[in-house]
Amino acid sequence: MLNDINTPGDFDAALLASTQDALRKANANATRLLARHPDASLNAISRQIGNRCTARGLVMQVYRHALANDCLRDTAIDLLYRKILQEFPSGWTTEGTVRPTVKIGSWYSHMVQFAPSAGVSEIAEAIVRDMAINDPPPTGWIPADCNDTYILKLFKRHWPTK
């Protein structure tokens, strides 16, 4: 399967297929795995599943489920929380050579690529901009969970519920 890759789309399709196959072999559901491991990164979950399961394939599968089940906003909150924990294990900082925008940038790009619905790009960009530039959390901040006040404030501002 991976030998037949000619375009980036082929690559993503191959990763998604291998991840779906790994989930089937493990008798697992991506969304339930996230719920069972609320603080784990997608990298850690994909390593636990094994069998050619990849974090990128897992995020594609999670967003497919979110789009199909009208829970995209909640999924985006969950995945942003996980990305923050992964990239800032010692707490939020703007120090170092890699800026916060870059560290959480894959959350934005995954939203745009794998959950292409109306307004998602603008919403994700505004959330990243606020976190990294306009209204960053305090130095040392670590979200308590995906219902963290700061994260929910960003989503309320940029992706309010009806």
Per-residue pLDDT tens for 103-156?
999 999 999 988 887 789 999 999 999 999 999 999 999 999 999 999 999 999
Domain co-membership, 81 together with 156? yes
Mean pLDDT of 15-34: 86
Digit-coded pLDDT (tens) for 33-53: 888 899 999 999 999 888 788
Which of 7-16, 94-103, 137-146, 151-160 is predicted least confidently? 7-16
Q: Which structural domain range is residue 148 located in?
A: 70-162
- The residue from 45, 69, 93 where one domain ends is 69
Number of domains in the chain: 2
In this structure, the answer to whether residues 78 and 4 fall within a common structural domain is no
Which of 12, 47, 69 marks a domain boundary?
Answer: 69
Write 15-21 long-range contacts (CB < 8 A, 24+).
Answer: 15/54, 15/56, 15/57, 15/60, 16/57, 16/60, 16/61, 17/57, 18/52, 18/53, 18/54, 18/57, 19/46, 19/52, 19/53, 19/54, 19/57, 19/58, 19/60, 19/61, 20/57, 20/61, 21/51, 21/52
In a shared domain, residues 114 and 146: yes
